[in-house]
Amino acid sequence: MTHHDLTTARVRRATPDDAAPVAALAALTFPLACPPGASPEAMAAHVAAQLSPDRFRTWATSVEHVLLLVETGAGETVRVLGYSLLARGVPDDADVARVVGTDEVVELSKIYVHPDAQGTGVAGALMVASLDAARSLGPGLTLWLGTNGENERAQAFYRKHGFATAGGRTYVVGGEEHSDVVMVHRT
């Protein structure tokens, strides 16, 4: 791992000023979670359309979203090591609705950690903060996430934090269809 003083790592709610560094981290980490067959062009198209600084600025100010980040350092040496995004709403995907229902739910839409910070506890701290944020964003609502069906490491991490596989969905990345599992948090 690149040297970071993880004793200064903290999770906080992101602001619009954090959009550029979070988008840069998203551009780095999203392709790492895609299945091996995903084309670089499709991943780049997805990042450009779905993970732009403008999108992160919007999410940082939305009452229907919570955008969290993990950062370390201070002053000029602050570095974003991870982020998560929660979204409250009614599922707009028929496959997801079959699994979690058609009422309002909270989706753990994104949770990513810089490769240098994996295995350091950063992801666990971010997940704990995300679960707390989900309870505040949608008290009593079902919490779910979708993750690539081939990403066993991510699925094991989610199971460790109380999620269980409940179904599947098709997820489109830059025009390419991929199979995801839908996991629901068991409280």
Residue matched to tokens 């094991």: 156
pTM for the structure as a whole: 0.92
Local confidence band at 138 (pLDDT 50, 70, 90 cut-offs)? very high
Nearest alpha carbon to residue 42 among 172, 152, 150, 170: 172
Cβ pair 121, 157 in contact under 8 A: no
Question: How would residue 1 be classed by pLDDT, with cut points 50, 70 and 90?
Answer: very low
Residue 78's pLDDT is what? 85
pLDDT at 163: 98
Which one is predicted more confidently, 78 or 117?
A: 117
Residue whose tokens read 């934090």: 161
pLDDT of residue 6 exceeding 80 = no
The CB density around residue 101, as the number of other CB atoms within 10 Å, is: 13
* pLDDT of 172 higher than 60: yes
SS3 164: strand
pLDDT of residue 2: 47
How much is the average pLDDT of 100-111? 97
d(CA 2, CA 30): 20
